[in-house]
Amino acid sequence: MAPAVMALDAMAPEAMALEAMAQATAPIPLDFAFRVEPGELLALVGHSGSGKTTVLRTIAGLWRPTVARVSIGGRGWLDTAKGVDLAAHRRRVGVVFQNYALFPHLSAARNVMAAMDTPDPAGAARLLDLVNLHGLGDRRPAQLSGGQQQRVALARALARQPDALLLDEPFSAVDRATREKLYSEILALRAHLKMPVVLVTHDMNEAQLLADRLVVMDKGRMVCTGTTAQVMADPTALRAMGIREVAALLPATVVSHLPDGLTLLETPAGALFLPLLEAAPGTVVRVRIMAHDVILSRARPEGLSAQNILAGRITRIVAGQGPAVMVHIDAGGHEILARITRRAAETMGLQVADQVHAILKSMSVARDHIAAGAPAQGGD
């Protein structure tokens, strides 16, 4: 894999930021504006029909809203005010479509070569190696599994040497086990991608685990943008995503794998025991902790089955319209969210700046809520 990654490093010599905005009321309502830095992964999240795929299609040149501007490194791809509208095949984008849209009559290698300016069989083989498809270049799409087709689609998108990489629900058609593997592979690949990456997904877990920054879409409108922590603090975004998707992202380092089938991880807020991870000790992972899985206690609890007790300080308590409140806790410099009942918060007399312990069952963290790579910090 090493030489293949080096091939990727050599590609796309200039890294440029992607800027996109659009305003339209019909036929598809749209209202968004964002900028993606070189090497940054921006996730567009929202329910189906929220317009996120249309945003991607606008960038790729497959859709033209009434008023829109798309530029890469300041160069205009689309500017309705100036009458600029580069055809899709003239925009240097790599697109991974939801159902991959591979060319069914061409082998995997020829699919990849179709996106090259000058077909280069050796280059195609290197790209297929990079996405772990060594030796499968002669297979046609119908002879490949869903996960393998997805990898061919990614290799094809990279073969275009794109100025921007666009991923449209790339993991929605593969099974859970394949998806988990693809997450790690994408995160490993990301370190070598110098172009801006836009990921469209309806899956908050995927967005949080993979992205540096999120844009939440609702009915074509961008309702919120920011890091996971910033988005989770925004009530409008929470309404658009659904309250049950609220979760914090905690960086953790794998310490050791225990004989009882658990993995011990270290976080700035304390030790975490999670179901066995396939990651070597020392690996940095991001763990998604769902707000509704967290229990709060004032005193450090004893005689409890839950093994993960993280100490922290309350920074905010946000009451919604329902019976629950969202408690934001600073645990060793990282935010943990706990969604508890208003009644519990009142009974405990929780106040901002109080010391609390966040308790989490090991088994409540699903395997696909953990991925390699540290989450992004800060941002705008």
CB nearer other proteins, residue 88 or residue 177: 88
Using CA atoms, how far apart are residues 299 and 262, in angstroms rounded to an integer?
26
* Exposed/middle/buried for residue 3 (C-beta within 10 Å: 0-12, 13-18, 19+): exposed
Give helix 146-159 / helix 121-130 axis angle, nearest 10°. 130
CB nearer other proteins, residue 105 or residue 176: 105
Residue 89 CB, shortest distance to other proteins, in Å, is 5
Residue 97 CB, shortest distance to other proteins, in Å, is 5
Q: Which residues bind other proteins (CB under 8 A)?
A: 60-62, 87-95, 97-99, 101-105, 114-115, 117, 140, 142, 156-157, 160
Length of the chain counted residue by residue: 380
CB nearer other proteins, residue 105 or residue 300: 105
Label the pairing between strands 197-201 and 164-168.
parallel
CB atoms within 10 A of CB 225: 22
Residue 27 CB, shortest distance to other proteins, in Å, is 13
Residue 173 CB, shortest distance to other proteins, in Å, is 12
Sheet holding 334-341, edge to edge: 295-297, 355-360, 308-319, 324-331, 334-341
Residue 88 CB, shortest distance to other proteins, in Å, is 4
* Cis peptide upstream of residue 27 (ω within 30 degrees of 0): yes
CB atoms within 10 A of CB 9: 11
Instruction: Let me know: does 278 contact 254? Beta carbons within 8 Å.
Output: no
CB nearer other proteins, residue 156 or residue 369: 156
Instruction: Tell which residue, 65, 94, 55, has the closest CA to residue 201.
Output: 55
What is the amino acid identity at position 213? R
CB nearer other proteins, residue 88 or residue 191: 88
CB nearer other proteins, residue 99 or residue 341: 99
Residue 41 CB, shortest distance to other proteins, in Å, is 19
